[in-house]
Amino acid sequence: MSQYNFKKIAVVPTSKDFIDIILSKTQRKTPTVVHKQYKITRIRSFYLRKVKYTQQSFHDRLSQILTEFPKLDDVHPFYADLMNVLYDKDHYKLALGQINTARHLIDNVSKDYVRLMKYGDSLYRCKQLKRAALGRMATIMKRQGSNLTYLEQVRQHLARLPSIDPYTRTIIICGFPNVGKSSFINKITRADVEVQPYAFTTKSLYVGHTDYKYLRWQVIDTPGILDHSLEERNVIEMQAVTALAHLRACVLYFMDLSEQCGHTVDEQVKLFESIKPLFTNKPLLIVANKIDIVSLDDLTPEKRACMKPIEDDTELTLLQMSNLNEEGVMEVKTEACERLLSYRIEQKMRTKKVDGVLNRLHVAVPKPRDGKERVPCIPESVLAKRQVAGEKRKRKLERDIEEEQGDDYVLDLKKHYTDIPEEERYDIIPEIWEGHNVADYIDPDIFEKLAELEREEDAREESGMYVVPKIELDDTMKEIKALALQIRNKKAIMKDEARVNKQCKKPTMPRTTAAKGRDRSVSRLRSEMETLGVDMSETNDAHFTKTKGKSRALGPVAKKIRTDMLEAASENKNRSVSRTPRNQLGVKDAAMQKKLAKIAHRAIAKKVGKMGMKGEADRFIGTKMPKHLYSGKRGIGSNDRR
């Protein structure tokens, strides 16, 4: 029987994506240019190649799906029944069967149109035949949309299934919901199964691995099973039944004697009797869990009577344990592994292969020759060494401690660091400190040098080396210091005013209003300049006010140019000369006008530079062709889709 790795199954695309992938591949891998002046044989071979390539691509992709998905007749019966429970065997086979039928239909369509193409007598007829062939293939694939979607869901679920090897050493844990199965597998393996105080927390099979006698064991945690007929069990319960039926493993049937799982002891015994046929030819252990609450001896006589059939059965072994305080957990694991190991050896001894192995083995037994007794001769030096070794106490090795403690053993090498005091033995020693290797700075005399440094520092402090001298300022230095303080304060005030003015700009005032409150005048100018020492006596007749300049008289040439411009503006129907330009309408602030002009310029530059437009009025029309025609390497030729 073949083994399957379900995680390696390729993704199954939808019908639309399937068609797009195949047609785009055909477009890329086959010639794309044909002309009327070509010979008819060349035109036929051009379109024949497209039809055949499309058919081969469809065939290869569908064959890959059919090959990668497991066949229920070839896989292990455990996986076959599990897939039947999860996906419905009939639905699964029907989907694969329809995919196989679609593959044959596409092959037949290709054969028919290749035969017709040989009689095409023009470019138009050959092209129409190619178009019809590809269209019929695409129609066949469109009808497989539901099957492809179903197979993709099956693929995703198969990839999430645990990797269970049906042929390796396996321990299966079963029982009612919430009896402590997941807690037990978390204790003995590295699995992290969710544990909650309600039923059916585990909804699928979980696999953990543990080691015993240097061998790898897989432990399977099954969902809880309820006591009703096989037809009434749901998908969650049927997964556990499938694992019990088909895997050659040691079975641990868990029981909750405290009845905190919501089921009485009598119901748990009845469930065991109902699924007992699944345990045939398998090692079986009954595990009474939660003995930290109620042990077997603490049961009432009525409940003890329910347990009597199990206790009296000589073929069954009843063990007690508690996941809370881990009492009996390792005993249950050890007993299960030993039972399964002896069972597997016994099964292998019954096969014919063992006879072939035994026939190749020969044990030589010496026979007495002359009736003399030959005592083993041990040299005296060896006997003396043995005597000395017997007198000396043998040192306990880490290996001996590991065998004693079992899974509770933790390797601790620091306990042998006898040169280090016990309170400092487990201190963390950094190897790198602030980018430097600590080992480069280890000095045995570090403490002596540190004490010497401290003595030197004390001597310097006593001598007054670190005392700061007091500096007395004269009157000039005090004035300079006061002026510097005023300058700093003035600078701080100016910075604050600038920040406030920048955050809240004052609205622009009209010129008439601003002129009234203006604080500039000729008299103020004279007074300020005179205070600075400038002689202003000769400026009485000077005119400081700004006069309006008179317009120059225009010459005849300038007058003609101006007349022509006015006539051209009057002929323009769009806008009169007196009308405000459109980009200035509604914006009175000059600074805002400049800002808007910059924003518009950037927007137009982006359109022209990045989008390839001619200007602001050019409308952007995106490409309608698929991306695959413009990506990747293309040869010299046209991009027309034919």
**Domain residue limits, the chain:** 6-157, 164-349
Question: Lowest-confidence range among 321-335, 338-352, 456-470, 622-636?
Answer: 622-636
Higher pLDDT, 449 or 89: 449
Q: pLDDT of 442-476, one tens digit each? A: 777 888 888 999 999 999 888 888 877 777 778 88
pLDDT of residue 51: 93
Query: Does residue 214 contact residue 220 with C-beta atoms inside 8 Å?
Result: no
- Does domain 164-349 sit in CATH 3.30.230.10? no
Binning pLDDT at 50, 70 and 90, where does residue 201 land? low
pLDDT of residue 243: 64
pLDDT of residue 556: 65
Structure tokens at 205: 């099979």
pLDDT of residue 108: 93
Q: What is the mean pLDDT of residues 270-292?
A: 81
Which CA distances in Å does 25 have to 19, 211, 280? 10, 51, 56
Higher pLDDT, 568 or 478: 478
Which CA distances in Å does 107 have to 112, 402, 535? 9, 67, 112
Higher pLDDT, 164 or 624: 164
Distance in angstroms between the alpha carbons of the first and the last residue of the chain: 48
Q: For 140-145, which contacts have Cβ atoms below 8 Å and span 24 or more sequence positions?
A: 140/102, 140/105, 140/106, 140/109, 141/15, 141/18, 141/19, 141/58, 141/102, 141/106, 142/15, 142/16, 142/19, 143/15, 143/102, 144/15, 144/98, 144/99, 144/102, 145/14, 145/15, 145/16
Binning pLDDT at 50, 70 and 90, where does residue 134 land? very high
Return the residue matching tokens 């299960």: 336
Q: Helix 40-68 vs helix 89-117: angle between axes, to the nearest 10 degrees?
A: 170
Which amino acid would we find at residue 79?
Y
Query: Does residue 45 contact residue 119 with C-beta atoms inside 8 Å?
Result: no
pLDDT of residue 199: 44
Cα(256)–Cα(269) distance, integer angstroms: 11
Report angle CA 619, 622, 625 to the nearest 5 degrees.
150
Higher pLDDT, 511 or 300: 300
pLDDT surpasses 80 at 222: no
Residue 501 per-residue DSSP state: H
Annotate 339-361 with b (16+ C-beta within 10 A) or e (fewer). Answer: bbbebeeeeeeeeeeeeeeeeee
Binning pLDDT at 50, 70 and 90, where does residue 583 land? low
pTM for the full predicted model: 0.47
CATH number of 6-157: 1.20.120.1190
Most confident of 236-245, 312-321, 402-411: 402-411
Q: pLDDT of 426-448, one tens digit each? A: 887 777 777 787 777 777 788 88
Binning pLDDT at 50, 70 and 90, where does residue 160 land? confident
Binning pLDDT at 50, 70 and 90, where does residue 305 land? confident
pLDDT of residue 111: 93
Task: Single out the residue of 76, 334, 79 nearest to residue 215, CA to CA.
Answer: 334
- Which spans in 220-328 are helix H? 235-246, 265-274, 301-312
Q: Where are the beta strands (DSSP E) in 170-224?
A: 170-175, 206-212, 215-221
Binning pLDDT at 50, 70 and 90, where does residue 110 land? very high
pLDDT surpasses 80 at 44: yes
pLDDT of residue 332: 86
Q: What is the mean pLDDT of residues 243-249?
A: 70
Structure tokens at 494: 């100016």
What average pLDDT does the structure give for the chain? 78
Query: Does residue 288 contact residue 320 with C-beta atoms inside 8 Å?
Result: yes
Task: Give me the residues paired with residue 221 across strands.
Answer: 173, 206
Which phi-psi region, left, alpha or beta, contains residue 398 (left: φ > 0; alpha: ψ -120 to 50)?
Answer: alpha
pLDDT of residue 510: 57
Q: What is the mean pLDDT of residues 324-328?
A: 82
% the chain with pLDDT above 70: 79
Handedness of CA 34, 40, 45, 48 (dihedral sign): positive
pLDDT surpasses 80 at 116: yes
Which strand ranges, in their side-by-side order, compose the sheet holding 215-221? 206-212, 215-221, 170-175, 250-256, 284-289, 317-320
